[in-house]
Amino acid sequence: MKTENLYQPFEVEYKELDECPITAHVHNFFELVYIVEGTGVQCINDNKFHYRPEHFFLLMPQDCHSFEVKTVTKFFFIRFNDIYLKAQKIQNPYGALNDWTRKLEFIFQNTNHLPGCILKNKTDKLLVKALIDAIIREHINQQQYHQELVQQIVNTLITIVARNISFNTPQITKKSVVNEVPLDILHYIHQNIYMPENLKVEQIAAHFNISATYIGEYFKKHTGENIQQYITNYKLKLVETRLQYSDLRMNEIAYELNFTDESHLNRIFKKYKGISPSEFRKQLTKV
């Protein structure tokens, strides 16, 4: 079964499908799925739910899920990971807002929920529809500061989701340590991506008290990628982000992300992306 990974704190995607099903897969991040138009069937962990416009789904890390499209469906996806949740707490270190982000982080990391639409009251449904419409407009038009606006709206949507989950979660139980470990390794990689000495297999294995000869097999079993492949993909996503949203020169990006030099960055980027970083940046300016 295919496993998907997320190489940045959050992303949004607007997709229209007419007949091909989204086959069963799992991923190592949270995903919110909003049905803009269309009907079909959502399957999550062998439970089926008939979807229609304005349904809003939360998919947890390691959920096995798929969609069967009955009529042309416009999906809007919001994907985010634990690093994104932690960042909200860091940005708001004081007061009631930080208390809420702590609760929000706990809710998303520890709740189990039934499949189906997570919105339980009409007011929130209307609010979510307006917010999703706003994100789609920003995502399509991409005017100045659209990324910052989208992030603020995403924060609001995540808070609404957390509120609706809390309505229907009388008791939150801690996940088993076994299920937490694969995600903890991903979080460790994200947090240490600028410190290559901490990303050696032996160092990661020692940090999690796992045999260095076994951790590679263990990681690939849960993510579908070997550790070094995941680290490279994550670094290249950070490169893409800097090429798109900063004026950093190639040698500055190479230095920040611990490539040997600019030539090394060019070689690795072209190997995995098919074009050089400078060509990638030029394509973005043409859009």
The pLDDT value given to residue 87:
66
What pLDDT shows up at residue 34? 95
The whole-number pLDDT of residue 111 equals 54
| Parts of the chain with a pLDDT under 70 | 1, 19-21, 46, 85-115, 167-182, 245, 286-287
In terms of phi and psi (left: phi > 0; alpha: psi -120 to 50; beta: otherwise), the region of 286 is: alpha
What amino acid is encoded at 214 in this protein?
Answer: Y
Q: What is the pLDDT of residue 24?
A: 77
pLDDT of 30: 83
Give the model's pLDDT for residue 211.
93
End-to-end CA, the chain = 35
pLDDT at 175: 38
Span 33-58, pLDDT tens digits: 999 999 998 888 767 788 999 999 88
Three-class secondary structure assignment of 198-265? HHCHHHHHHHCCCCCCCHHHHHHHHHCCCHHHHHHHHHHHHHHHHHHHCCCCHHHHHHHCCCCCHHHH
Q: What is the pLDDT of residue 178?
A: 38
- Per-residue H/E/C for 35-80: EEECCEEEEECCEEEEECCCCEEEECCCCCEEEEECCCEEEEEEEE
Q: Which domains does the chain have, with CATH numbers?
A: 2-167 (2.60.120.280), 177-286 (1.10.10.60)
Q: What is the reported pLDDT for 76?
A: 93
Q: Say what the pLDDT of residue 265 is.
A: 96
